Amino acid sequence: MNEPALPNSFRTGPDEQGMFGIFGGRFVAETLMPLILDLQKEWEAAKNDPAFKAELTALSTFYAGRPSKLYFAEGLTRHLGGARIYFKREDLNHTGSHKINNCLGQILLAKRMGKTRIIAETGAGQHGVASATVAARFGYPCFVYMGATDVERQKPNVFRMKLLGAEVRPVTAGHGTLKDAMNEALRDWVTNVEDTYYLIGTAAGPHPYPEMVRDFQSVIGSEARAQILEQEGRLPDVIIAAVGGGSNAIGLFHPFLDDKDVRIIGVEAGGRGLDGVEHCASMNAGRPGVLHGNRTYLLQNEDGQIVDGHSISAGLDYPGVGPEHAWLRDTGRVDYVPILDDEALEAFQLCTKAEGIIPALESAHAIAHAIKIAPTMGRDEIIIVNLSGRGDKDVHTVARMMGMEI
Amino acid sequence: MTTRIDRRMAQLKQEGRPALVTYFMGGDPDYDTSLSIMKALPGAGADIIELGMPFSDPMADGPAIQAAALRSLKGGQTLAKTLAMAAEFRQADQETPIVLMGYYNPIYIYGVDRFLADAKAAGIDGLIVVDLPPEMDEELCLPALKAGINFIRLATPTTDDRRLPKVLENTSGFVYYVSMTGITGSALADTEKVAAAVKRIKQHTALPVCVGFGVKTAEQARIIGASADGVVVGTAIVNAVANVIGADGRKTADPGEAVATLVSGLAHGVRQARLAAAE
């Protein structure tokens, strides 16, 4: 691969074709192409419309509960005896994760476009719940595609979606996880082009989704940056977030990309280790390819067939990653590291006990990396971890891993 | 440049009938069986062969073709083997056009230049790559045209008159009109609407227009063939293969024969198309 030239700013992408370097793009069937161009046009208009921004800000404030707090994790910091650890508390948002940020933005766009039917894909169910929530709030029918395996391991979220009036459609193709749910959502969209809005949950897919979702999620990083300046009087040394598709991570990272003294680390699901196929570390163990509308790092075999990964966390169980992360990896601006299932599980328990906060298993991956590096850092140094969601949904999985029945 | 597709289409135009374009999945359920199916197609009345390249995540396809792709991959099919299959077919048949159809990633991983060289050597005449719209022409379409291989684009009901010129710009061989908004194997759309759409596309291009998605029977082939220059049948053929493979993977009848029987009926259908239209 050619080494890309380092840009003056890491915050200007994508280009007009939706490319971040060689990544991104619009690799979709012709049937969807006019829809994606419409979406792009509407998104360009909306982001420059003060009324759109005002409505989103009002909903974010009074409905979702923003700004989320930047919390000094004193217990965990003391326990580790190194850098000062802060949590960006996205778990405190309405619906319990960062997903609501994107869903509120996109539902306003759907309304603006006159669409009357919402579809979404979900892995852990957090995006499905957030989609069902905004669909309920705005009175749209909502259909959520979810892999059959995930339906099984995320039962509480499945029930929440149903309570919110959404129809959960289990997908049995493939391994029945997020990748297969996304295929099925795309099939629905290609069939129902007139009335349907596809509310993609992560910063991936065809342009303009990666850019649009990033912009809706960047509220995380913008707030965190202002909050740490106010609370500590300086920028952090390290910021960390878990990366599945990568929406919470790009949301935290993007406002810090040009702060060159801030080290940025994305944590991939290392599953049971990178040696075999039981992981979802596409940027550590995959290579560039084309899937779901964009070019990005993918887990695949030598014939270009996509490989199903594995993670204890349903939200990280995806063989690809958003294209901007792929670009940030290749430019070297962001380091992407794997965390194993066991390490995430330990972090889950330590965070719960030391802080009285039950983190989502996705977020536990980010915490696990902070646990690794904090003791090696000075006590005057600062880490911000994106606590992207709360872990109530995961207690069944964790109990099973610990050998308990509940 | 004149390709086998151009020659075949011109010949059928003289005969005054539409082309029967038959899709099957390369390597389904295994290489040898699949090659025997391919060899049986021209004799049964197929005018153009679409050779499916299996992909693990066929987003524009329905359950039948997705299942066929998974059977094929399980049977050990790779892009290299699909090209080898075409080359083997070519040894005995120099005339029937072969169009490779599938998704971009396996080609991207194989390497575009290497793929085009090997495809040309294998006697491939055209490509249909579902997830490469005109916006991504530099990836494969333009290199393919340079290599002397037709790039056949899909036009769909969402491709309006404003967009149609962009879709047609680098298209060659024929235009593949997708009869509906949906995935392969869905129910056939309103045939009058399809005929109107074909007419609309023909106002923008001199290329033949073939219609696919939803055509399963000889009768449907006849009706669609009355207005289109070609009729594409895929899912029905893939199902004919699936129907003679038991749950244990063993064949209950000869897949080549099963496909030939179906294709003969479809071939009869397209040969009635213009007769009926003239009545």
- Over residues A346-381, the pLDDT tens digits come to 999 999 999 999 999 999 999 999 999 999 999 999
Kind and range of the H or E run holding B268 = helix B255-278
Instruction: Assign B252 a pLDDT band (cuts: 50, 70, 90).
Output: very high
Round the average pLDDT of chain B to a whole number and report it: 95
Question: What average pLDDT does range B107-136 have in this prediction?
Answer: 98
Which residues, numbered 167 to 196 in chain A, qualify as contacts with chain B under a Cβ-Cβ cut-off of 8 Å? 173-174, 179, 183, 186-187, 190-194
Of the candidates A26, A179, A192, the beta carbon closest to that of B57 is on A179
**Cβ of B133 under 8 Å from any chain A Cβ?**
yes
Set of chain A residues whose Cβ sits within 8 Å of the Cβ of B105:
289-291, 298, 300, 304, 306
Q: Within 10 A of A381 (CB to CB), how many other CB atoms are there?
A: 16
Q: Cα distance from A308 to chain B (closest Cα, Å)? A: 10
Instruction: Assign A173 a pLDDT band (cuts: 50, 70, 90).
Output: confident
**Cβ of A117 under 8 Å from any chain B Cβ?**
no
A50-103: pLDDT as tens digits: 999 999 999 999 999 999 999 999 999 999 999 999 999 999 999 999 999 999
Question: What average pLDDT does range A263-271 have in this prediction?
Answer: 97
Residues near A44 by beta carbon (within 8 Å), at least 6 away in sequence: none
Which residues, numbered 18 to 57 in chain A, qualify as contacts with chain B under a Cβ-Cβ cut-off of 8 Å? 25-35
Return the amino acid letter for A154: Q
Four-residue CA torsion sign, B30, B32, B33, B39: positive
Kind and range of the H or E run holding B70 = helix B63-74
User: Could you give the dihedral angle defined by the CA atoms of residues A390, A394, A396 and A398, in that order, rounded to the nearest 10 degrees?
Assistant: -110
Both structure tokens of A134 = 């905004």
Both structure tokens of B150 = 């037709």
Distance CA(A387)–CA(A390), nearest Å, equals 8
Is there a contact between A31 and B131 if contact means CB atoms under 8 Å apart?
A: no
HSE, side-chain direction, 13 A CA sphere, residue A382: 21
pLDDT at A327 > cutoff 90? yes
Give residue B134's pLDDT: 97
Question: What average pLDDT does range B237-247 have in this prediction?
Answer: 93
Give residue B1's pLDDT: 66
Q: Are A120 and A100 in contact (CB under 8 A)?
A: no
> B97 preceded by cis ω (within 30°)?
no
Q: What HEC string does A306-370 produce? A: ECCCCCCCHHHCCCCCCHHHHHHHHHCCEEEEEEEHHHHHHHHHHHHHHHCCCECHHHHHHHHHH
Of the candidates A27, A31, A303, the beta carbon closest to that of B104 is on A27
Is there a contact between B59 and A183 if contact means CB atoms under 8 Å apart?
A: yes
pLDDT at A155 > cutoff 80? yes
Query: Distances from the Cα of A347 to the Cαs of A246, A250, A339, B25, B27, in angstroms?
Result: 20, 22, 10, 47, 46
Residue of B138 and A175 predicted with greater confidence: B138
Give residue A175's pLDDT: 75
CATH 3.20.20.70 fits B4-278, yes or no: yes
Distance CA(B32)–CA(A314), nearest Å, equals 39
Give residue A147's pLDDT: 93
Q: Are B170 and B141 in contact (CB under 8 A)?
A: yes
Q: How is residue B28 annotated by DSSP?
A: S
Is there a contact between A35 and B182 if contact means CB atoms under 8 Å apart?
A: no
Distance CA(B102)–CA(B110), nearest Å, equals 14
CA A119 to chain centre: 18
Q: Which of A150-154, A227-231, B234-238 has the lowest mean pLDDT?
A: A150-154
Catalytic residue among A60, A218, A247, A388: A388
Burial class of residue A169 in the structure, from the number of CB atoms within 10 Å of its CB (0-12 exposed, 13-18 middle, 19+ buried): middle
φ, ψ dihedrals at A61, nearest 5°: -75, -55
B50 is catalytic: yes
Q: Are B200 and B159 in contact (CB under 8 A)?
A: no
Q: Are A301 and A276 in contact (CB under 8 A)?
A: no
Chain position carrying tokens 């151009």: B6
Q: Are A183 and A205 in contact (CB under 8 A)?
A: no
Question: What average pLDDT does range A190-206 have in this prediction?
Answer: 96
**Cβ of B131 under 8 Å from any chain A Cβ?**
yes
Q: Within 10 A of B251 (CB to CB), how many other CB atoms are there?
A: 14
B113 is catalytic: no
Give residue B185's pLDDT: 85
> A14 preceded by cis ω (within 30°)?
yes
Distance CA(B128)–CA(B98), nearest Å, equals 11
Query: Distances from the Cα of A298 to the Cαs of A210, A323, B5, B71, B78, in angstroms?
Result: 16, 10, 35, 22, 18
Instruction: Assign A3 a pLDDT band (cuts: 50, 70, 90).
Output: low
Task: Give the 3-state secondary structure of residue A153.
Answer: helix
Return the amino acid letter for A132: A
> A208 preceded by cis ω (within 30°)?
yes
B219-235: pLDDT as tens digits: 999 999 999 999 999 99
Distance CA(B109)–CA(A304), nearest Å, equals 5
Question: What average pLDDT does range B59-66 have in this prediction?
Answer: 92
Do β-strands A19-20 and A23-27 pair in parallel, antiparallel, or remain unpaired?
antiparallel
pLDDT at A406 > cutoff 90? no
Q: Are B156 and A31 in contact (CB under 8 A)?
A: yes
Q: Are B262 and B238 in contact (CB under 8 A)?
A: no
Residues near B115 by beta carbon (within 8 Å), at least 6 away in sequence: B79, B107
Give residue A2's pLDDT: 53
HSE, side-chain direction, 13 A CA sphere, residue A242: 34
Question: What average pLDDT does range A214-224 have in this prediction?
Answer: 98
A103-118: pLDDT as tens digits: 999 999 999 999 999 9
Test the A interface: residue of B59, B100, B163 with most A CBs within 10 Å:
B59
Four-residue CA torsion sign, B143, B138, A187, A292: positive
Question: What average pLDDT does range B250-278 have in this prediction?
Answer: 89
pLDDT at A317 > cutoff 90? no
Q: Contacts for A343-347 with beta carbons within 8 Å, 24 or more apart?
A: A343/A270, A343/A368, A343/A372, A344/A269, A344/A312, A344/A313, A344/A368, A345/A312, A345/A398, A345/A401, A345/A402, A346/A371, A347/A371
Is there a contact between B136 and A27 if contact means CB atoms under 8 Å apart?
A: yes
Distance CA(A200)–CA(A182), nearest Å, equals 9
pLDDT at A5 > cutoff 80? no
Residue of B249 and A221 predicted with greater confidence: A221
Distance CA(A162)–CA(A143), nearest Å, equals 10
Sheet with A334-340: list strands edge to edge: A70-72, A84-89, A382-387, A238-242, A263-271, A334-340
Task: Give the 3-state secondary structure of residue A103.
Answer: helix
pLDDT at B278 > cutoff 60? no
Instruction: Assign B176 a pLDDT band (cuts: 50, 70, 90).
Output: very high
The count of residues in chain A is 406
Q: Within 10 A of B193 (CB to CB), how many other CB atoms are there?
A: 12
**Cβ of B186 under 8 Å from any chain A Cβ?**
yes
Distance CA(B235)–CA(B237), nearest Å, equals 5
Of the candidates B60, B63, B107, the beta carbon closest to that of A190 is on B60
Instruction: Assign A4 a pLDDT band (cuts: 50, 70, 90).
Output: low
Residue of A394 and A291 predicted with greater confidence: A291
Q: Cα distance from B118 to chain A (closest Cα, Å)? A: 15
Residues near A21 by beta carbon (within 8 Å), at least 6 away in sequence: A4, A13, A327, A330, A331
Please list the alpha-helical segments (H only) found in A121-218: 126-138, 148-153, 155-163, 178-191, 209-217
A34-49: pLDDT as tens digits: 999 999 999 999 999 9
Question: What average pLDDT does range B114-142 have in this prediction?
Answer: 98
Residues near B32 by beta carbon (within 8 Å), at least 6 away in sequence: none
Query: Distances from the Cα of B238 to the Cαs of A174, B71, B255, in angstroms?
Result: 19, 11, 10
pLDDT at A1 > cutoff 60? no
The full set of domain ranges for chain B reads: 4-278
